[in-house]
Amino acid sequence: MSVILAIESSCDETSVAICNNGKITANVIANQTIHQNYGGVIPELASRVHQQNIVPVIQQALIDAKVSKKDINAVAFTRGPGLLGSLLVGVSFAKSFALALDLPLIAINHMHAHILAHFIDDPKPSFPFLCLTVSGGHTQIVLVKDYFDMEIVGQTLDDAAGEAFDKTAKILNLPYPGGPLIDLHARSGDPLAFKFPEPQIKDLNYSFSGLKTAILYFIRAQEKLNPDFITERLDDICASVQFSIVNILLNKLKRAAQLYGIKEIAIAGGVSANTGLRSGLELRAKELGWRVYVPGFEYCTDNAAMIAVAGHFKFMSGEFVGQDIAPASRMEFNG
Ligand code: KG4
Ligand code: ZN
């Protein structure tokens, strides 16, 4: 019997989840809208808002899961990677909560948790599988051999896929975070209206900084000819950019699948909510005989349910940390 309370505060979502014997019974997420005014996450503001949100979010999670503090058996928390000030709020709260109730502490790597979100609901992938983890800070192809036995086999050398979406959105004067808005406009646009170059990067690695520059120069050149270019062609621009990013992501994933001879393929992280990526993955699955796993929308972007399920697996194997644990903003993938 295990009731685990999990806290996620690595960036700009304050989230608390409760997991009862591996089943999620609460997943409360407080989004921080304040950053929209600044075109990106302001770390100092993010930590202040976490500080305001953490207690009400915990209280709501306890209500949703219909449990009281005394029913909890362990506290799991995101140790890193992420913004230091944001992590400090979640880590300090988890430590105080565990100290007050004399509970064991479980430290979770945020990037492992994105992948382990696949073990919240059915169908679950079987080991070994490949997971394309695409978020605002990371783009990785991970070979997942077991719950905590994972190896990065490819990753971005510069910008993350989420950054490529968000930076394009900024060029198009769309508010932060731009990824979901590009996705929305792309649904009414022509993905083949404009073509952007695919970077020629060795091995299974990615690069998105060249694409961002190509988009910027393209838009500037078009605006010289027609100052209303962005407004008039917004849907087509979004569809074409999304098509390029998705193709870059899936082409390397296909190479990884061939190289490792694996047909169990998953996607995870904020960008895995992208409808173009989801439908592109389904197409490749048909073409290449892949079995694909896509998390529910609520488990793509940052959430504590993924921390809770990862915490459940560590609880089962008795992997606890002491009260001297500190956040690790640049936490190593296997650290
Ligand atoms: O995993 P996540 O919530 O936070 C990080 O750990 O970074 O990912 C956030 C990223 C942002 O860049 C956001 O624009 C992107 O995920 N994102 C999307 C979509 N939903 C979120 N990008 C494209 N299409 C979406 N539907
Ligand atoms: Zn994340």
The domain in which residue 45 lies consists of 3-115+299-316
Q: What are 18's strand-pairing partners?
A: 5, 26
Q: Does residue 171 sit in the same domain as residue 48?
A: no
Ligand 1 centroid–CA 139 distance in Å is: 11
| Contact of 181 with 275, CB cutoff 8 Å | no
What pLDDT, in 10s, does the model give residues 75-123? 999 999 999 999 999 999 999 999 999 999 999 999 999 999 999 999 9
Strands (E), 219-293: 264-268, 291-293
Same domain, 290 and 303: no
269-290 mean pLDDT: 98
Share of the chain above pLDDT 90, in %: 94
Same domain? For 176 and 261 the reply is yes
Which residue ranges have their beta carbon within 6 Å of ligand 1?
11, 135-137, 162, 165-166, 177-180, 183, 269-271, 273-274, 301-302
Residue 196 backbone dihedrals phi, psi, to 5 degrees:
-120, 150
- Order of strands, edge to edge, in the sheet holding 129-134? 149-155, 139-146, 129-134, 264-268, 291-293
139-146 and 129-134 strand pairing: antiparallel
> Is there a single domain that holds both residue 43 and residue 96?
yes
CA dist., res. 226 & res. 114, Å (int): 42
Q: Which of 165, 171, 183, 330, when mutated, tests ligand 1's pocket best, judged by the most ligand atoms within 8 Å of its CB?
A: 165
Average pLDDT (265-289) is 98
Evaluate whether residue 327 is within a structural domain: no
pLDDT band at 335 (very low <50, low <70, confident <90, very high): confident
Looking at residue 313, its pLDDT comes to: 98
- Confidence tier at 223 by pLDDT (50, 70, 90): very high
Confidence class of residue 277 from pLDDT cuts 50, 70 and 90? Answer: very high
**Which pLDDT score is estimated for 228?**
98
CATH of the domain at 280: 3.30.420.40
Q: Is the predicted pLDDT of residue 39 greater than 90, yes or no?
A: no
Nearest partner of 84 among 331, 334, 271, 335, judged by Cα = 331
Q: Which ligand is nearest to the CA of 170?
A: 1
**pLDDT bucket at 37, cuts 50 / 70 / 90:** confident
Domain count, the chain: 2
Q: Does residue 258 sit in the same domain as residue 135?
A: yes
Contacts of 289 (CB under 8 A, 6+ apart): 263
CA–CA gap between residue 215 and residue 237 (Å, rounded): 9
Instruction: Assess whether 50 and 143 both reside in one domain.
Output: no
**What's this model's pTM, rounded to 2 decimal places?**
0.96
Q: pLDDT per residue over 246-271, tens digit each?
A: 999 999 999 999 999 999 999 999 99
Instruction: Give the integer Cα–Cα distance in Å for 205 and 249.
Output: 10
Q: Are residues 185 and 268 in the same domain?
A: yes
The pLDDT value recorded for residue 32 is 85
Ligand closest to 246 (CA) is 1
Position 208 in a domain: yes
pLDDT higher than threshold 90 for residue 47: yes
Residue 35 has pLDDT above 90, yes or no: no
Q: d(Cα 108, Cα 78) in Å, to the nearest integer?
A: 5
- Whether residue 306 is contained in a domain is answered as yes
- pLDDT tens digits for 115-149? 999 999 999 999 999 999 999 999 999 999 999 99
pLDDT band at 184 (very low <50, low <70, confident <90, very high): very high
What is the model's pLDDT at position 41?
84
> What strand order describes the sheet that includes 23-31?
23-31, 13-20, 3-8, 74-80, 105-109
At a CB cut-off of 8 Å and minimum separation 6, what does 187 contact? 235, 239, 275
